[in-house]
Structure 1
Amino acid sequence: MSSSRVYGYLRASTDEQDAERAKSPLLDFAAQQGFTVDAWFKENESGASLKRPELFRLLDVARTGDILLVEQVDRLSRLNSSDWERLQGLIKSKGVRVVALDLPTSHQLLHTGDEFTNRMLSAINGMMLDMLAAIARKDYEDRKRRQRQGINKAKENGRYKGRPVDEKLHATIKELLQEGKSYNKIIERHGCSRATIARVAKTLRNPE
């Protein structure tokens, strides 16, 4: 891969999920292919949103020919078509090559050839990437639809109670807020979301 750098991108959708889980299979793949991962970028953000600061930080430092390595295409995108076009356009403009473990055609991009071969591989990989991104979006929409159907059915039967509250975490956040700790410090210490802290803060301002 000459002087190209490889950046591993790890993403999980929620704070409760472990983004680090994919690191091991990516390291195994790198070892099999004979290269090392130069840096890791990890975040807990929805793949259906462009609110991905670590992904954009990766693309900001990447240079032409560098590799963006992911376990699966859906770690990169569950975006709608317009947002995917924006992200894909940025990736192309930077000249970054996307390699995903679940996209075998992309593995060949790790090994450079002549210009014609490289262009052909990039074109084929681009089409396959588009297809898998579309499938990932459909899977996301299908799951959301099933969740809504399940919630509506539970409501009709009087069984819907919403997501259970982590009382222990809320109590800890409450104590830290009362001690004057910042949102960022609490997030760093406990890995919770800003929205969760805001809900606890609201109960402090408006106790029942």
Structure 2
Amino acid sequence: MFIRAYLRASTNEQNAERAKATLDQFTQEHGQRIASYYKENISGTQLDRPELNRLLTETQANDILLVEQIDRLTRLNDHDWKQLKRMIEEKGIRIVSMDVPTSWQALDNNALTHNDPIIKAVLDAINNMLIELMAAMARKDYETRRDRQRQGIETAKAAGKYKGKRADPERHKKVKIYREKGLSLTEIAEATGYSRSQVCRILAN
């Protein structure tokens, strides 16, 4: 069993390694250690994430995918979440999240549940239900924040106070540097956190 920690932040301005020390301490308290870390700055609403894909490629059956919270793993819509969940299940990976206590049993090799199939089946069912609930809440939180942002913009526009989102000159500069180095539009988007269409607009200016 290898524990693979997934660290994600939504933008380049955020620190994806913020939870690293917390996850290290958490695994130590359970008599385990993290074998590898997968860090990236990308929205949890995107299914195609380079480091998450690498984790899924390198993992083996019974390995653990460790996250601080379920929203670090997913803010996906229902269709994409089902697809990601299917990929995880096909690999035989177990999700452990600090905000889902029922998932912690996977860290204890000597747990009673490993020897009692009935107890294990019940706890697995409860654990899956809680992960589903947390995933739905993560998506709902994302949609709520987007709605509030949209309403705020509409209010600002009506008052003549909306000036639009300010461009980040440093990130724009990185886009052009990456392009000069021969990176594809997709690679640039993954490296900067922009969408392909945003990369195209920046390069066109």
Q: Could you say which residue in structure 2 is the equivalent of 1:138? A: 140
* Residues 8 and 69 in structure 1, CA contact (< 8 A), matched pair in contact too: yes
Q: Which runs of 5+ in 2 are unaligned?
A: none
Is 154-163 or 192-201 further displaced after alignment? 192-201
Specify the SS of the correspondent of 1:165.
coil
Deviation for aligned residue 1:119: 3.2
Specify the SS of the correspondent of 1:51.
coil
The 5 Å alignment of 1:87-106 reads 87-106=84-103
The 5 Å alignment of 1:58-137 reads 58-112=55-109, 113-114=114-115, 116=117, 117-137=119-139
- CA distance in 2 between counterparts of 1:38 and 1:164 reads 40
Specify the SS of the correspondent of 2:47.
coil
Deviation for aligned residue 1:197: 5.5
Paired letter, 1:89 = R
Q: Could you say which residue in structure 2 is the equivalent of 1:181? A: 181
Q: Which runs of 5+ in 1 are unaligned?
A: 204-208
Specify the SS of the correspondent of 1:43.
strand
Q: Could you say which residue in structure 2 is the equivalent of 1:206? A: none
Structure with larger Rg: 1
* Residues 174 and 192 in structure 2, CA contact (< 8 A), matched pair in contact too: no
* TM-score normalized by the length of structure 2: 0.84
* Residues 65 and 95 in structure 1, CA contact (< 8 A), matched pair in contact too: yes
C-alpha RMSD over aligned residues: 2.4
Aligned residues: 194
Specify the SS of the correspondent of 2:136.
helix
User: Kindly tell me: are residues 115 and 86 of structure 1, through their superposed partners in 2, closer, same or farther at Cα, counting changes over 3 Å?
Assistant: farther
* Residues 175 and 192 in structure 2, CA contact (< 8 A), matched pair in contact too: no
Deviation for aligned residue 1:166: 2.8
Q: Quick one: which of 41, 44, 50 aligns to 2:41?
A: 44
Deviation for aligned residue 1:182: 3.6
- CA distance in 1 between counterparts of 2:194 and 2:45 reads 18
- CA distance in 2 between counterparts of 1:32 and 1:52 reads 30
- CA distance in 2 between counterparts of 1:123 and 1:93 reads 17
* Residues 41 and 193 in structure 2, CA contact (< 8 A), matched pair in contact too: no
Paired letter, 2:23 = L
* Residues 109 and 118 in structure 1, CA contact (< 8 A), matched pair in contact too: no
Deviation for aligned residue 1:67: 0.4
The 5 Å alignment of 1:8-19 reads 8-19=5-16
Deviation for aligned residue 1:24: 1.3
User: Kindly tell me: are residues 177 and 76 of structure 1, through their superposed partners in 2, closer, same or farther at Cα, counting changes over 3 Å?
Assistant: closer
* Residues 154 and 160 in structure 1, CA contact (< 8 A), matched pair in contact too: yes
* TM-score normalized by the length of structure 1: 0.83
User: Kindly tell me: are residues 111 and 169 of structure 1, through their superposed partners in 2, closer, same or farther at Cα, counting changes over 3 Å?
Assistant: closer
CA-to-aligned-CA distance 1:129-149 (integer Å, 9 cap, x gap): 001101111111100000000
Specify the SS of the correspondent of 1:34.
coil
Identity %: 45
Q: Could you say which residue in structure 2 is the equivalent of 1:27? A: 24
User: Kindly tell me: are residues 69 and 156 of structure 1, through their superposed partners in 2, closer, same or farther at Cα, counting changes over 3 Å?
Assistant: same
